[in-house]
Amino acid sequence: MTGETKMDQPSGGASKPEGSKARFDGNQVLNLLLRNLMVLVVVSVAVYFSIVRPQFATLPNMATILIAAAPFALIALGQTLVILTGGIDLSVGSVVALSAMSSAALCVGHPERMWLAAGVGVLVGLTAGLVSGLVVAYVNVAPFVATLGMLSVASGLAYAIGNGAPINGLPTEWAQIASTKVLGLQAPVLVMIAGFLILAVVMTRTSFGMRIYAVGGNRTAAEVAGVNARWILTSVYAISGALAGMSGVILSSRVISAAPYLGKGYELNAIAAVVIGGASLKGGRGTIWGTLLGLLLIQTLNNGLDILVVPSYWQTVISGSLIVSAVAVDMLATKRTSQ
């Protein structure tokens, strides 16, 4: 009975395997659309903006969207792994600030230390994530609490580094990190694309990815099957921290300065992207592809509403409601296709 079945097709597939193929089933088309509803939503939002404001659909504007998306994307990727284990990382926003401040403090007045500083920025993020991860995995503190603590600690440290003030006057070389172009694409965009590709492959083709899903789906069962759940948990928080560190370096490079309030609230945007992408906050369900869609939806909305010159406070109202409606409709669609 075992064979090549890629996706499960709850109804129909079992009862009438052939025959239904001959006359094209309207139901199947509907189900296919419903299953890929979020793609549809993203596309329609983009089409709407392109019609209302032709300048939306231009290459320069697309590039703007991608560059704006990059720092968020890295955080959202890390958040995806954490959420897949059934956890949550609230600390990423302030880890962004801490990383940016650490690398800026190291680099200011020392252009030759630029790459060292960038490396330290990532390392600081990794360390913060590692600490959260160890506390979650080995001390069994709830992820919400552990990373809420880290949010506070990292934010405080970020302020302490600059004595409460932003660090300005970074060497101009620092801007290279975000502005270097390869193949016509800016470095952060390339990092983002690489991040998506690498993690998509990791989650589907490596034992590490499979174990993340297993631990998130059922930690006890994973442990019974010989998975070292603590190590998996620790590593996802460490990865999330390192990606937040990268994001901090990129953000500060873009403005050639670092501020202790950088990245404030980013964690919520990242969580939103992951959840819009269909991941379950209980863990075990979700994909990198989904997070990409969620991210695209948020970024497209932000950019499009900017172009429409919608006041920023109305922007938040609109994108908030749209996000919730999109997820609600997605839930109903999932329920329908898997009745």
Which parts of this chain interact with another protein (CB under 8 A)?
1-16, 205-208, 210-211, 213-214, 217-218, 220-228, 280, 284-285, 339
| Shortest distance (Å) from residue 6 CB to another protein | 6
Asked whether the beta carbons of 336 and 323 are under 8 A apart, the reply is no
**Token reading at 187:** 């470095």
Instruction: Return the number of the residue (51 or 225) whose C-beta is nearest another protein.
Output: 225
* Cβ atoms within 10 Å of 18's Cβ, excluding its own: 6
Instruction: Return the number of the residue (20 or 50) whose C-beta is nearest another protein.
Output: 20
Close Cβ partners of 236 (under 8 Å, ≥ 6 residues apart): 78, 81, 82, 84, 85, 87, 133, 212
Q: What is the DSSP track for 160-179?
A: HHTTTS-B----GGGGHHHH
Instruction: Return the number of the residue (88 or 158) whose C-beta is nearest another protein.
Output: 88
Instruction: Return the number of the residue (159 or 231) whose C-beta is nearest another protein.
Output: 231
Instruction: Return the number of the residue (87 or 121) whose C-beta is nearest another protein.
Output: 87
Instruction: Return the number of the residue (28 or 50) whose C-beta is nearest another protein.
Output: 28
| Shortest distance (Å) from residue 285 CB to another protein | 5
**Token reading at 26:** 């309207």
**Token reading at 50:** 């392109």
Residue for token pair 């239904």: 20
| Shortest distance (Å) from residue 201 CB to another protein | 9
Give dist(CA 123, CA 95) in Å, integer: 11
Instruction: Return the number of the residue (9 or 64) whose C-beta is nearest another protein.
Output: 9
Residue for token pair 């330290």: 120
Give dist(CA 15, CA 13) in Å, integer: 6
| Shortest distance (Å) from residue 198 CB to another protein | 13
The H or E element that residue 181 is part of is strand 181-182
Instruction: Return the number of the residue (7 or 183) whose C-beta is nearest another protein.
Output: 7
Residue 324's Cα: distance from chain center in Å? 17
Close Cβ partners of 93 (under 8 Å, ≥ 6 residues apart): 75, 151, 244, 263, 264, 265, 266, 267, 268
Q: Indicate the DSSP class of residue 167.
A: B
- Describe the crossing of helices 26-35 and 37-52 by its angle, rounded to 10 degrees: 80
User: 247 by DSSP, 3-state: which?
Assistant: helix
Instruction: Return the number of the residue (219 or 254) whose C-beta is nearest another protein.
Output: 219
| Shortest distance (Å) from residue 330 CB to another protein | 17
| Shortest distance (Å) from residue 209 CB to another protein | 8
| Shortest distance (Å) from residue 214 CB to another protein | 5
| Shortest distance (Å) from residue 314 CB to another protein | 38
Residue 56's Cα: distance from chain center in Å? 23
